[in-house]
Amino acid sequence: MKKRLLAAAVSAVVSLSSMTAALPAVTNAAAADSKYNYGEALQKSMFFYQVQQAGELPDWNEVSWRADSMENDEVPGGWFDAGDHIKFALTNAYTATVLAWGIYQYKDAVKKAGLYDKYMKNLQWGLDYVAGCDRGDKVVGTIADDAFDHVWWGSAEVYMRKYVLKGGTDPRPYDEITCTSTVAQMASAMASGYLVFKDEDKSLAESYLKHAKSLFELADTTRDNTDQATQGGGNYYKCSDYFDDLFYAANWMYMATGDDSYLDKCEKEYIPNLAKEQQSTERKFTWGFCWDDALQAASLLYAINTDKQEWKDQIYKHLEYWTTGYGGKKVNYTPDGLAWLFQWGSLRHATTTAFLASVACDTIFKGDAAKEEKYNTWAKSQMDYAFGDNDLGMSYVLGMGDKNPRSCHHRTTSGVWDDKWTKLGTDPAEEGGLLSTDGSLVEYAHTLYGALEGGPNMDGTFKDEVNSYQNTEVAIDYNAGYTAELCALLDDYGGTPLADFPPKETPKWDEFFMKASINQAAGSYTEIKAFAMNHTAWPARTIKDLSYNYYFDISELEKAGYSINDVSVRVGYDQHSGDEGKISISDPIQYDGSVYYVKLKFNDGRVVMPTGQSEHRSECQFRISIPDNIQGVWDTSNDYSFAGLTQGGEDAMVVTDKITMYDGDTLIWGTEPDGTKPTPTDPSEKPDDPVVPSVKGDANINGSFEVADVVLMGQFLTNQKTMTEKGMINSDMNEDSKLNVFDWGIMKKRIAATANKQ
């Protein structure tokens, strides 16, 4: 079972009774008024966000091929940014805010579709990470070593093993920054989170609001984007102006608190400093809402909050620019109808603007039939373009429609084991094959359901290549406005999630297996070269207690009057002889009758890992021999594991199921001489945690109540540490299904009473 990482790490009070909820019954029926099922699309977008989860995965994570990763990050959890494994407070905050806005505006529609609980869980995952990045006078901006992250291609689950192997540290490096744009976006996330959760979990919402106030104050006081990052964040998300972000945050703060001072700041301090059109005194209405330009989104909120015509006009200009043009300015269009702003994430911009259009139609333009018809029709057309209404017939939402891009710039989805990724999505060497002529993987291990790819070029063409970042990249911010707009489309057209989603994936290739060849075979010995292989991706993983058996038959020796005592074994070469993975070879062990085997066992099998060309397989050369003076009685033709092997260099290596592989005592590869084969298992299922007795106050679930539990409870309540579900239950001292300072007080009194007795 995947372990739950309780998002309550940022909450002073958490309702224990609301940790799980049953999903409503759903069908596969598409919305009657649209040829696309927006319920299915929203369901799959939630799947994408679960793929992006970092840290210890919650038990509601539905992705069978994902497992825990980067558990020791300075701030646990959160979403990986894109196809890489960096975590940015900026994009986590931007994304969480837009998702919150979607559910805030269209809550009833999402509930009707049966996706409310799923949506809220995913949203809280992002919000809790943002809250965890709040350090008072600074925030954690970036977690990762970007110099490593963007030169290595592999799965999240084995990232840290490769990183440490290359000289990195565990936990990963991080920075603490004061960048106003980042902090203001975080304040927006926390304020919008408060609005969404205030009627669901009051204590959680109040915690978000507390963070929102302190973050807004820090952003407003700092007013400087110089301190953007020391870990690479500024290289990828370089923030420009910050007054738009303060304007955006102030509107969310007003909505959360009702405090007019936030609108006063907008009027007196932020609006005079907002961007203007080039060589004009007119306020900027071009470009689009994204992580680095919140002006139009803030303007829409301000128009809603103040009902001022000036700001309704601002949104009118912006939407005209995106549709038919305003003041001689109009966004570019592809020949087949996509409003195309920019080469990076063209669909991201179109679908995010579609969301602003829908919200505007449902708020400031409500009742204006002409505007509602124009902008709603346009918004739907942009979304439907992403689903396949284009000249290529291409659905740029993966796992939706009949035709998807073949390539996707996303490491974990690929399942690559040897850091060779440039051939992904290309034609295999043979029909139905997995590999190109150079041995590179071409078929992705997984389907990244629900991910919105970057999109087409301005001429409507699409470069379907894994390294065409502008076309095939995916990202949490790409999916944000798209997801929020799905909420709006559900409100207008309905839609239902699929009853049989997600499908359970089964491995497309052998995950652990053996390859071998003959080094030499002479009259008195056999020398074998063997590769222990790890190509795991369901999920990517390693095995500590890893070993393999080589079987041979000595019946010819016995007939000549010799015995197993005349057989010796030794390792001639071990790839890991100088490290913790060093392999050992056993003396011959009788399997059955004249059939014996030697077990080659790694001291630590985790050195065989799907992280690179020299790690996904471990080479060992070993010899089984008899004394040189015994000639003519050593015969390999009856040796079980020798069958099918050929002599030569690495090109002679063949996959063999006659060298069997083990995880501890469990057979995981090959067929033993008596025909025994591995029992099918589900690698995504984790063993249950050891049973620890429930002890009142035992927050760290070590079986006793002590000072350490009181300390952990205090850290939990002050957002410094998380706690397991069992630890939370144990810490509910007054058994009111909440965790708060009252429980902490009881714990402190009881520990003090215990100390006094001693």
- Active site positions, annotated: 84, 409, 464, 473
Q: Which residue has the tokens 């497309």?
A: 508
Find how far residue 260's CA is from the centre of its chain.
39
Neighbour count for residue 65 (Cβ, 10 Å): 24
Give residue 663's Cα distance to chain centre. 27
- Residue that is written with structure tokens 């409310």 in the block: 116
Match 């033993």 to its residue by tokens.
672
Per-residue exposure over 241-267, b if at least 16 CB sit within 10 Å of its own CB, e if not: bbbbbbbbbbbbbbbbbeeeebbebbe
The residue whose two tokens read 């994304």 is: 95
Beta-carbon contacts of residue 435 (< 8 Å; ≥ 6 apart): 428, 429, 441, 442
Measured between alpha carbons, how far is 474 from 454 in angstroms, rounded to an integer? Answer: 6
**CA 532 remoteness from chain centre:** 28
Taking residue 107's Cβ as centre, other Cβ atoms within 10 Å add up to 17
Q: How far apart are CA 711 and CA 720, in angstroms?
A: 11
- Taking alpha carbons only, the member of 445, 451, 383 closest to residue 81 is 451
Distance of CA 184 to the CA centre of its chain: 24
All residues at 6 or more sequence positions from 706 whose CB lies less than 8 Å from its CB, including other chains: 751
Q: Show contacts of 683-692: CB within 8 Å, 24+ apart.
A: 683/511, 683/536, 683/538, 683/539, 683/541, 684/2, 684/64, 684/65, 684/66, 684/67, 684/538, 684/539, 685/1, 686/1, 686/2, 686/3, 686/67, 688/1, 689/3, 692/726
